[in-house]
Structure 1
Amino acid sequence: MGFPVILQIIGYQNSGKTTVINTLLESLTKMGIRSGVIKHHGHEASLPFNDSGKDTERHRNAGAIVTTVSSAGNTILSMGSALSLEKTIELYKLLDTDCILIEGYKEIQYPRVILCRNKEDEFLIEHAVNPVAIISEENVREKYHLPSFLYQDQNKWMNFLVDHIEKGISKGKRGNYEIL
């Protein structure tokens, strides 16, 4: 099993991260690329479980660190504690993903696409360690030496990102994987 391509999509709230990821997922899925998404939810201390009164809730309350319920159509895994990004990536690797898209986790540096709503968001570009591309409302091409796309030019940034992911998958399958 090769390592999946990891691509992080970062930006401040309402910058279009979820839209970019969903658009990208639709293209990758049509191509047969098995993709997973890891989303950082930085707005609440803990997320609500939707299993009140169910066996999984009782198992967690009894001390299980993780519960999984699986049926013919889906599987739901839940934990009563935070799972680090690194451990989540390892889990996705076990699930044989070709590509992992990470939404958020601005402080953790994986190869990233940076979404900018305005000039104030350029702080994210200036402090990026592994930038792949910029998608912005305003043109920032002259200032930064990175592939830059306007948010409304969806076909351009989509083609670039799909090509980036395909190249990474190809390297991984040849055993020449490096984080792209």
Structure 2
Amino acid sequence: MGPDCRVLQIVGFSNSGKTTLMEKILERCKEELAWNVVTIKHHGHRGERLYDSREVKDSDRHLKAGAMMTVVEGGGDFILHKQNHVESLAQTIKLLRYLEADFILVEGYKSECYPKVVILKGHGDQRLLDGMENVQVIITWGRPFEADVPVFSIYEEEKYVPFIVKRIRSL
């Protein structure tokens, strides 16, 4: 990846809307910025193989929304899916040595240090924020609340999607 490649994480508990938000951000980045976006999806279910998992299906949704490539990682497995066919071993090696991505959108990896959007669905989800670093935006299924970063209702998509894309541009 280029040294100036932007990275943003989307984190939250299961079924909070992470994949749907990733799709909306991908579509916006593709349409407005014509960026090459790679997605990485964390597979956090130990002992479960990736090939038939929900994470692979979610990464397919990332591709349909405009990602040029997706990565699903977890439990010792690593799946990279590039949208366009790679024709030779040399091209594959070149791809893995240097990905020409403008932006990497990561779903999951809550404890990592990259800038992140946090989605809170249930009452107890606010504990997710305890000790979390580099939170840029919070999206809540409940009432917005006071925080050190912007907080949006999940129903304010017309506000938070452009805000997040603008924030990505400044990373």
Deviations along 1:133-166, one digit per CA (max 9) or x if unpaired, are: 0001112432x22111111110111011110112
Distance (whole Å) between structure 2 residues aligned to residue 70 and residue 39 of structure 1: 14
Q: Is the 8 A contact 1:69 1:75 kept in 2?
A: no
* Runs of at least 5 residues in structure 1 that lack an aligned partner in the other structure: 50-65, 77-90, 169-180
The answer as to 2:54 corresponding to 1:43 is no
The offset of 1:48, in angstroms, is 2.7
- Structure 1 match to 2:85: 74
Deviations along 1:99-118, one digit per CA (max 9) or x if unpaired, are: 11110111222111000002
Deviations along 1:3-35, one digit per CA (max 9) or x if unpaired, are: 211100000000000000001000001120111
Q: Is the 8 A contact 1:40 1:103 kept in 2?
A: yes
Query: Where in structure 2 are the equivalents of 1:1-150 lying within 5 Å?
Result: 1-30=2-31, 31-45=33-47, 46-48=49-51, 73-75=84-86, 94-142=98-146, 144-150=147-153
Secondary structure at the residue paired with 1:138? coil
Distance (whole Å) between structure 2 residues aligned to residue 92 and residue 101 of structure 1: 17
State the percentage of identical aligned residues: 32
Which residue type is aligned with residue 28 of structure 1? C
Secondary structure at the residue paired with 1:156? helix
Distance (whole Å) between structure 1 residues aligned to residue 9 and residue 116 of structure 2: 4
Distance (whole Å) between structure 2 residues aligned to residue 70 and residue 127 of structure 1: 35
Structure with bigger gyration radius: 1
- Structure 1 match to 2:59: none
CA RMSD for the aligned pairs?
Answer: 2.9
Q: How many residues align?
A: 136
Q: Is the 8 A contact 2:111 2:132 kept in 1?
A: no
Quickly say closer, same or farther: Cα 1:111–1:139, change in 2 above 3 A: same
Q: Is the 8 A contact 1:8 1:102 kept in 2?
A: yes
- Structure 1 match to 2:66: none
Quickly say closer, same or farther: Cα 1:154–1:93, change in 2 above 3 A: farther
- Runs of 4+ aligned residues of structure 1 deviating over 4 Å after TM superposition are 66-71
Deviations along 1:41-86, one digit per CA (max 9) or x if unpaired, are: 112533238xxxxxxxxxxxxxxxx999999x4249xxxxxxxxxx
The answer as to 2:163 corresponding to 1:160 is yes
Q: Is the 8 A contact 1:4 1:93 kept in 2?
A: no
The offset of 1:92, in angstroms, is 7.5
Task: Return the TM-score normalized by structure 2.
Answer: 0.70
